[in-house]
Amino acid sequence: MRTVRILLGLAGLAALAFGATLAADFGMASWRDTGQALAFFVGGPLAHDAVVAPLVGAIGLVIARRLPPAWRAPVAAGAVASGVLILLAVPLLWRPFGVPTNPGLHDRNYWLGLGIALAVVWLIAVTAAVLSQRRPS
Amino acid sequence: MNRFTAAGHDERVTSRVGAWLGVAFGLCFLTGLLSHAIQHPPPWFGWPSGPVWLYQATQGVHVVSGVAAVPLLLAKLWSVYPKLFDRPLIRSPLHALERGSILVLSGAAFFELVTGLFNVAQNYLWGFYFPTAHYAVAWIAIGSILVHVAVKLPVIRRAWSGREVDADRRRFLRTTWLGAGVAVVATAGATVPLLRDVSVLAWRSRGGPQGIPVNRTARAAAIAVPADWRLEVVTAAGTRAFSLADLTALPQATEVLPIACVEGWSASASWTGVRVADLLRAAGSEPGAPVRVTSLEREGLYRESTLPGRHTEDPATLLALRLNGEVLSPDHGFPCRIIAPSRPGVLQTKWVTRLTIEEIQ
């Protein structure tokens, strides 16, 4: 195991070093680009640790404490699916710097699509909950 | 203090989600590296011209595994979230280094997924050139993943051996796979025909002139085809000019080939035109050498491309004049465009005005 760890570590450090030289080339070319890219780099973990994770925790607590047992798993699964769908829809729906849509690209009604997807998710979640409630446990 | 006791925070869960996240990032890295090499080929690199769907498949895997990685990354981070509140914050220089490396790992992972998703949506929240940044950070991401696995290998081994995964933990894992599945089904229709109407968040529709989407319209490229347009074919023997009538008079061939965008969408169509190999022979040259393709487009990063010798030889490579039986619409490259098997869409140059044979030195 020791050899495997050393080899993995060395391969990782080599990739990191190469990535660092590419990043340095990128950064040296423009300060504005460096600032923006760094903001994206640090922004992800910050937004996750300070906003997304506490929100997930709070929703999880509400589900665990306030819902009857039969409803917990289906509602949790429905909430996860909804969260994923909403996150993936953000770049399509919120387009402050989006280029104009092209014929055949980004030209669908994404609000309608998201609405239908969420409706299907919750229809399945509620059906699953009702069925498991009726089943004698 | 033990505030986080839920099943999701168990190392057996962390390592299983981590394994799948590693697979997703590994696929993204390898397919991304391929796409990079096809567009910026080092001298030793060669990319086959067949099967025709090869690039469509590798780039589809790139984008689909990237989308699947979004819920996997969130589940993985939720699983280890309590570690953020470990006290003391730093126990030793080595511990500080490990915590720092986790910040680099999650920063790089978020960077790749967020910029990738916004890029396929053609929604540029940033001013920098996306491919350079996405490529550089890809190396940082894969490097920090490898280091992370090296550091955590004893924990991973412990987590995969021995104790069974109980019902609560299995439920967390099932919900995670469900999230990844929902993400894939919601978007994969951009490239998988069967899912086209199911994937409500795919970035391509069934639309587009002649049934095929367009990424750069003739108007955006400021194309005006001159009345005396000729296709120039520049060979070692000299330059030959072909009018549209000349090209139509040459033997015509029809091939079904996909347009496969680096942004992960793809669409197959039936293209008709002159085989590039035949055209080169008609111009007094031989296929097999690379050919530089120049567009009428005056500006833009993709106004020129180089067809490798392997593609100029392949009979499926066309200088297309027609799409799905109709004359090419202006947005699809009228008067003629290159369509070659297994190549990124940005290299399928439209509005072609010149082909230059780059003789092998």
Domain boundary among B148, B167, B195: B195
Q: Are residues B175 and B59 in the same domain?
A: yes
In this predicted model, what pLDDT tens digit does every residue of A40-56 receive, in sequence order? 999 999 999 999 999 99
pLDDT, position A136: 64
- B interface mutation test: which of A28, A80, A101, A124 has the most B CBs within 10 A? A80
The pLDDT mean for chain A works out to 94
Dihedral of the alpha carbons of B66, B68, B72, B74, in degrees to the nearest 10: 70
Element (DSSP H or E) covering residue B233: strand B231-235
What CA–CA distance (Å, rounded) separates B12 from B332? 52
Sequence-distant (6+) residues with CB within 8 A of A29 are none
Q: Are residues B140 and B231 in the same domain?
A: no
Provide the phi-psi class of B232: left if phi over 0, else alpha when psi is between -120 and 50, else beta.
beta
pLDDT, position B4: 57
- B interface mutation test: which of A36, A82, A84 has the most B CBs within 10 A? A84
- Within a domain: residue B230? yes
pLDDT, position B86: 86
- Within a domain: residue B202? no
Rounded to 5 degrees, φ, ψ at B91 are -95, -30
The pLDDT mean for chain B works out to 94
Measured in angstroms, the CA of A30 and the nearest CA of chain B are apart by 9
In this predicted model, what pLDDT tens digit does every residue of B57-73 receive, in sequence order? 999 999 999 999 999 99
**If you average pLDDT over residues B303-320, what whole number do you get?**
97
Sequence-distant (6+) residues with CB within 8 A of A9 are B146, B147, B150, B151
pLDDT, position A50: 96
- Could you tell me what percentage of chain B is helix, strand and coil, using 3-state DSSP and rounding each to the nearest 5? 50, 15, 35
- Within a domain: residue B37? yes
Q: Are residues B282 and B350 in the same domain?
A: yes
Sequence-distant (6+) residues with CB within 8 A of B113 are B66, B69, B70, B73
**Is the confidence at residue B1, as pLDDT, over 50?**
no
Domain boundary among B195, B218, B235: B195
Q: Are residues B257 and B165 in the same domain?
A: no
- Within a domain: residue B84? yes
**If you average pLDDT over residues A102-116, what whole number do you get?**
94
Joined together, the tokens standing for residue B234 give: 């520049």
pLDDT, position B2: 41
User: Would you give the DSSP letter of residue B128?
Assistant: S
* CB contact at 8 A, B53 and B258: yes
Own/partner pairs for A100-103, CB < 8 Å, 24+ apart?
A: A102/B122, A102/B208, A102/B213, A102/B214, A102/B215, A102/B216, A102/B217, A103/B207, A103/B208, A103/B209, A103/B213, A103/B214, A103/B217, A103/B331
Does this model's pTM top 0.80? yes
Q: Are residues B315 and B175 in the same domain?
A: no
**Is the confidence at residue B360, as pLDDT, over 70?**
no
A87: closest chain B residue by CA: B70
* CB contact at 8 A, B134 and B119: yes
CB contact under 8 A, B182 and A85: yes
- Within a domain: residue B290? yes
Joined together, the tokens standing for residue B94 give: 């080595």
Q: Are residues B289 and B171 in the same domain?
A: no
**Is the confidence at residue A14, as pLDDT, over 90?**
yes
Q: Are residues B315 and B259 in the same domain?
A: yes
pLDDT, position B361: 44
Domain boundary among B162, B195, B228: B195
Q: Out of A32, A88, A97, whose CB is closest to B186?
A: A88
- Within a domain: residue B203? no
pLDDT, position B103: 94
Measured in angstroms, the CA of A113 and the nearest CA of chain B are apart by 5
**If you average pLDDT over residues B115-122, what whole number do you get?**
96
| Partners of B356 in beta bridges | B234, B292
pLDDT, position B175: 95
pLDDT, position B344: 97
How many C-beta atoms surround the C-beta of residue B256 within 10 A?
A: 12
- Within a domain: residue B41? yes
Q: Out of B142, B143, B212, whose CB is closest to A104?
A: B212
Residues of A in contact with B106 (CB under 8 A): 44-45, 48
Q: Are residues B63 and B101 in the same domain?
A: yes
Count how many domains chain B has.
Answer: 2
**ipTM value:** 0.96
How many C-beta atoms surround the C-beta of residue A137 within 10 A?
A: 6
Q: Are residues B175 and B216 in the same domain?
A: no
**Is the confidence at residue B55, as pLDDT, over 90?**
yes
Measured in angstroms, the CA of A20 and the nearest CA of chain B are apart by 7
Q: Are residues B15 and B129 in the same domain?
A: yes
In this predicted model, what pLDDT tens digit does every residue of B316-356 receive, in sequence order? 999 999 999 999 999 999 999 999 999 999 999 999 999 99
More confident residue, B2 or B244: B244
**Is the confidence at residue A137, as pLDDT, over 60?**
no
- Give the residue numbers spanning the domain of B117: 7-195
CATH of the domain at B314: 3.90.420.10
What CA–CA distance (Å, rounded) separates A35 from A46? 16
Element (DSSP H or E) covering residue B58: helix B54-80
Rounded to 5 degrees, φ, ψ at B304 are -135, 150
Q: Are residues B148 and B69 in the same domain?
A: yes
**If you average pLDDT over residues A15-33, what whole number do you get?**
95
- Within a domain: residue B217? yes
Work out the percent of chain A whose per-residue pLDDT is above 90. 88
Q: Out of B71, B77, B178, whose CB is closest to A48?
A: B77
**pLDDT tier at B273, thresholds 50, 70, 90:** very high
* Contact B315/A at CB under 8 A: no
Q: Are residues B184 and B213 in the same domain?
A: no
Q: Which residue has the tokens 């500006």?
A: B299
- Could you tell me what percentage of chain A is helix, strand and coil, using 3-state DSSP and rounding each to the nearest 5? 85, 0, 15
CB contact under 8 A, A98 and B122: yes
